[in-house]
Structure 1
Amino acid sequence: MTTEVKDGLRYDAVPWARFHHCFGSGSDVPTLLEDIRLGDDEASGRALGTLWNRVCHQGGTSAPGALAVPFLIRIALAYSRHRADLLLLVGAVARRPHFGDGSRTGLLRAGDLAGSVRIEPSGHPGTWSVEAARDAVAADAELLCFLLDDCEPAVRQAAAYALAAALPPPANAAPSLHARLAREGDPVARACLILAIGQLCREDGDPATVTQLHDWWHHTGAPMDVRVSAALAWLCLVDDCVPAEIDVLFDTAVTDELTALLAPVPWLRDAQDGVRSNGLLVCLDQMRNPDDFPWLIAY
Structure 2
Amino acid sequence: MRYVEVSVTKGPLEVHPHVVEDVGRESFLHLGEFPPFDPDEEAGEFGQLLGTAEEPLAALQVAEKRVGAERGWWVNEGVAPYRLASRRTALSGTVTVVVRQWSRSSDRAACRRPGRASVSAEPRPPQSGCRHRCQSWTLQFAGVRSPEGLDTIDWSSLYHAYAEDGRDVPHWIRALYSDDADRVDDVLGELFNAVLHQGSVYPATVAAVPFLAHGAVHAVHGRAQLLALLAGAGGHGPEPQPGDEAEGCAAVGAEVGGLLHLLGDDDPQVRRQMVRVARRATGATVSVAVRELTLVYERDPAAAVRAEALIVLTRLDADPGSAHRRLHDALRDPVAAVRAVAALDLLERAQAPYPADLVRILADAGGHSGFDVHRLEFFPGVGDTDSRIADVLAEDADAAVSVARSWIAQGDVEGRGSRRAIELSDTWRDRENDTIALLTAALPHEKSPWDLFELLGGIVRWLPGSTHV
CA separation of 1:40 and 1:189: change in aligned 2, threshold 3 A: same
Does residue 23 of structure 1 match 2:162? Answer: yes
Report the Cα offset of residue 262 of structure 1.
2.8
The one of 231, 240, 264 equivalent to 1:111 is: 240
Report the Cα offset of residue 144 of structure 1.
2.1
Residues 242-299 of structure 1 deviation map (CA, whole Å, 9 limit, x = unaligned): 43221111222233xx0x3333x8997127xxxxxxx7555323212159799xxxxx
Does residue 142 of structure 1 match 2:247? Answer: no
Does residue 283 of structure 1 match 2:283? Answer: no
Q: Return the letter of the residue paired with 2:393.
A: R
Q: Return the letter of the residue paired with 1:110.
A: E
Q: Which has the higher contact order (CA 8 A, sep 6+)?
A: 1
SS of 1:178's equivalent? helix
Normalized per residue, the structure richer in helix is 1
SS of 2:243's equivalent? helix
Contact 1:77 1:143 in 2 (8 A): no
CA separation of 1:5 and 1:157: change in aligned 2, threshold 3 A: closer
Give 5+ residue unaligned stretches, structure 1: 99-108, 113-126, 272-278, 295-299
Report the Cα offset of residue 67 of structure 1.
1.6
Give 5+ residue unaligned stretches, structure 2: 1-117, 119-139, 397-422, 428-469
1:81 alignment partner in structure 2:
221
SS of 1:248's equivalent? helix
Does residue 193 of structure 1 match 2:298? Answer: no
Q: How far, CA to CA, are the matches of 1:281 and 1:84 in structure 2?
A: 22
SS of 2:247's equivalent? helix
2:279 alignment partner in structure 1:
164
Does residue 12 of structure 1 match 2:128? Answer: no
1:209 alignment partner in structure 2:
323
Q: How far, CA to CA, are the matches of 1:154 and 1:47 in structure 2?
A: 19
Does residue 54 of structure 1 match 2:221? Answer: no
The one of 345, 348, 367 equivalent to 1:233 is: 345
Q: Return the letter of the residue paired with 1:7.
A: R
Q: How far, CA to CA, are the matches of 2:175 and 2:249 in structure 1?
A: 25
Report the Cα offset of residue 83 of structure 1.
0.7
Aligned Cα root-mean-square deviation (Å): 2.9
Does residue 181 of structure 1 match 2:297? Answer: yes
Report the Cα offset of residue 136 of structure 1.
1.9
Q: How far, CA to CA, are the matches of 1:79 and 1:281 in structure 2?
A: 32
Report the Cα offset of residue 227 of structure 1.
0.9
Report the Cα offset of residue 161 of structure 1.
0.7
2:206 alignment partner in structure 1:
66
CA separation of 1:4 and 1:216: change in aligned 2, threshold 3 A: closer
Normalized per residue, the structure richer in strand is 2
Based on CA coordinates, which of the two structures has the bigger radius of gyration? 2
Report the Cα offset of residue 132 of structure 1.
1.7
Q: How far, CA to CA, are the matches of 1:133 and 1:198 in structure 2?
A: 22
Residues 76-124 of structure 1 deviation map (CA, whole Å, 9 limit, x = unaligned): 101241010100111111224x4xxxxxxxxxx1323xxxxxxxxxxxx
Contact 2:256 2:278 in 1 (8 A): yes
Q: Return the letter of the residue paired with 1:77.
A: V
Q: How far, CA to CA, are the matches of 1:290 and 1:53 in structure 2?
A: 36
Q: Return the letter of the residue paired with 2:195.
A: V
Q: How far, CA to CA, are the matches of 1:8 and 1:33 in structure 2?
A: 10
Q: Return the letter of the residue paired with 1:81.
A: H
CA separation of 1:182 and 1:134: change in aligned 2, threshold 3 A: same
Report the Cα offset of residue 131 of structure 1.
1.6
Q: How far, CA to CA, are the matches of 1:135 and 1:186 in structure 2?
A: 29
TM-score relative to the length of structure 1 = 0.75
TM-score relative to the length of structure 2 = 0.49
Does residue 251 of structure 1 match 2:359? Answer: no
Q: Percent identity?
A: 23
